[in-house]
Chains A and B, each alone.
Chain A
Amino acid sequence: MKLLSLKRRRDILRQKWQFVAVIVTVVLGVAMFAGTFNAYLNLGSSLEGTYERLAMADMTVTGADEGFVDVARTTSGVANAIVRRQADVPFEIGEDSLIGRVVGVPVGAQPAINMVDVETGGYLSGGDGLEVMLDTHGASDFGIEVGATLTIAGREATVVAIVVSPEYLWPARDEQSLFTAPKSFAVAFVDEAVLADLEAQTILDQTLVLYEEDADVAAVDATIEGLARSANAGSIQPLANQPSNNAISKEIEGLQTMAVAFPLLFLAAAGMAIYVLITRLVFSQRGVIGTLRSLGISSKRMSRHYRSYGTMVGLIGAGIGVVVGGFIGRGMTALYIQIFGIPDLVAAVHIPTIILALAFGFVAGALASIAPSRTVLRLAPAEAMRGDTPTAGGKRSLFETLIPPLRKAPVRWRMTLRGIGRNKKRSSTMVIGVVLAMTLILATAGMMDSMLTAIDTQFQDVALEDASIIFEVPVTDDVINAVADVSGVEAAEPVIALAATLSKSDSSFSTVMNGYERDTVMHGFPAPLPVSGAFVGHAMRDLLDLEVGDIVRITFPDLETTITTTVEMFLNEPLGTVAYMSTEALTAAIEDANPAITADVLASPAATTAKAIFADGADPGPVLDRVKEVDGVATAVDATKLKESIEDFQAFFYAFIGIMMLFGGAMAFALIFNTISVNVAERSSEFASMRANGLTHRRVAALIAGENIILTAMGIAPGLIVGYLAAQAFLGSLADEQMPLQLTITPFTWIGTIAAMFVVAGLSLIPAVRAIKRINVGEIVRERSV
């Protein structure tokens, strides 16, 4: 019926700001869903595309017996398998030295698995001298271009290409070192034949396995893993655990969580706002409804008419939200692609996402309008036309019952308290709105607090060193003493770091075994390292079903050695899940298990580095420069650079959290604004009468403000609880062994969130106060609407 549509349009225009507030809430929810979910799908597709184009290995097995590659290649579900070599060796780039990685590849043709994408220059041609293709991250850190030279394991090499490797989209050295400080790591791809001749303590044989496109990944993983164990493999790394893939996948998973959870909050809030608005509309149009019913319009049609307000608001919000979400999704995808340097950008608009987003908006509007529109069915025309509003019975508030002295409070206060119970649905909506907004803010702010606390704990209480020092000579006492004697260095200690696989029964976990001095000052342990036995990261308790006192098997693939030791303590460290033994215990255990691996072998620069603490007040820059000048020192890395690197990684995340908090504030504003507007509209006659009796508009506004503040306060406690639980669930979905985050919410966040709710409630009052000021007392007191 066209005239009903016209009525609907005019009704909406008459209450445009309330409808705008509701539509904005729907837009925020739908845009967030459409944008984040599109970005999630696009980022996944981009990564998949790059992996597929460059034949990223589905499994990397290190140190398996010689025949393993043939066995793997003929396994069902496997498309191909090859062997390659890899070694960590000293690099000298300009004035900087570091331990970099060289990876062997064929000359003249890409490897069949783990190809590289040549950004500039040309693929290895087998020309004169040592040619290398440098990974783009290292090239960027050092400002290297094609034609530059560097020294790798003592040999001069020429950079012939800058490449992107699917293995190093995120430049992580290993599973436990997802973050590397700038200029502390670089990857070079060299002729595989040359690699064998390089001076490296350990050259790893790696079998790269590529699965068929339609393979059952889990099943093939299990088969290959079993075969690799039988072939005495030192390390078995499925794609899911591959460091770069792991880092990016965690981001993608995080996006997926946010793409679903947060928009649901917004749509729930929008639903409530729509409910309040349409309930008010039906309430105020009882006379119109009665008249139209008496003129022959069926109650079902009238009910549909009022339901259409909700569906229309939902669809308009969803339509705008999808468009805004399209931009958000495109921007987020581009930003992520840039951060991770994924060469293949898929920025598709996913039709199912759009349909789903539109459906979300529609369903939120339709569901929210069902209840108020059904009240139309129950209205008798004659009763509705009288325009009588149901008489509110009136009763004392719960506050007065619970706190008897309030019964003696000034009537204005009692009126405020009773105002809360007058329309329980409206009041509940406002309380729930506060809870939802706090949930959104606490979930995101809690994530940020936890991250920042983890980083602070890691660099203030756990990793106490000011610098990590990498050597190009065996790390002897003399070398360490020479570092310790540098002016500005207070202490220096050797630290062993070995790739290790800890296992118990059939469970295993690849990580790093660190050897520290028992009374180390470089690392914060809850107790001195044990004479024998190991401290292990807390996540291993579940991963390996370990308890303190259990015997754990530790395999060092680089050393082809396996030891056993007892678990002495679980550590709750914020970054990484690693293992620790005292240097003496670790060295002795390895030597016992494999007499060929002596303390001298472990002192090689590939296995042992040093950590140093600077004297109070020492300027780190000059001290680092002096350390680098010590004979045998390859490079020294400022520990704060690693912290900065981690913080940089989080920067985008923090920006996202900031936006979430703004959205949360906007959502709370929209919901509270609507609730207050409806409150004022419903009680305009009452307020007008009070104004006529001599109450100033400020005094009337104070009544509403009082109700508003009490309702906000009522939402605070449940908001804090639900917000905390949501933050815990959100963090739990993102935490893993690499970042076993524990929820921390700082007092500032608690107080800030509470304060933000009151500020938003206060801001939402401004339009209401203006509405009270604009009340036409003379006109309204003549109408019967109290």
Chain B
Amino acid sequence: MANEEVILQVKNLQTYFMVDEGIVKAVDGVSFDLHKGETLGIVGESGSGKSVTNLSIINLIPNPPGKIVGGEVLFRGKDLLKMPQDEIRQIRGNKISMIFQDPMTSLNPYLKVSTQMVETIMLHQKLDKKAAKEKAIEMLMLAGIPAPEKRIDQYPHQFSGGMRQRVMIAMGLSCNPEILIADEPTSALDVTIQAQILELMSDLTKRLGTAVILITHSLGVVAGTCDTICVMYAGRIVERGRTADIFENPRHPYTQGLIRSVPRIDKENAYRLYSIQGQPPNVIDLPDCCPFYPRCDRAMDICKKKYPVSVKAENGSAVSCWLYAEEH
């Protein structure tokens, strides 16, 4: 990355959900830095805490049952978690905006696209209605929607899935945010549309200098779009580093297994795919050990007793695994 300015710092974030069965430690000690203009990928399986991490960043965890019990989220030095409601609302949607997986549920089906976009822009940018609409049309044009001056007065159901996601991107970027959080933005889309949307996102964010946090379960998507990657497992980041380093030299057994278990179109696959044995853990009342050890083929005694410390390497990557810890 050319720019080393850190705009978002997440420090030891902990988000728990109190449910009848016990405490779900959905996010348990997540830390990472986001630099200006960087695209950071968060990969993990369902239930690993990817989405909760990002909802916690913008303080949108439903309380109860959820609660951010610890940690800091520093946006330009200010802790978003301690900010009063009206102050964080100035940031949410304006400086930090979001795109969700299913564009149909995040757009209001009763309102025209223009109403929804103009509302956001007027609220955050102090523009009058006319100027806001012009801005909205300009953003839709950037997002590659043909005839935006006509389409803007249509309702969400009149757009196809890919087009709706374009509207969401246009809306998300309309206030020139510094950070765009995209939660599985292409998982509901077909491959050819996915390619369009990813290209559009990386193109636009590069042009506007927006940093992106991209949440996905697809290793292919992160390989093509992200500068850095965080791999999450059972509420924690188990490995973090530059995309090229992680794919070339994955160190955590989980990351290794994940990369090996994906069938490839560019290679001949073996008769049997590599697969990680067992099931992802239930995150209710997890003991303080490595959550991956029951599935790990290199598990040691210590793995059952203590959660591994994070070990940093020279290239800036970090891994939480006892295999790399010097002293036990």
Instruction: Check if A and B associate.
Output: no
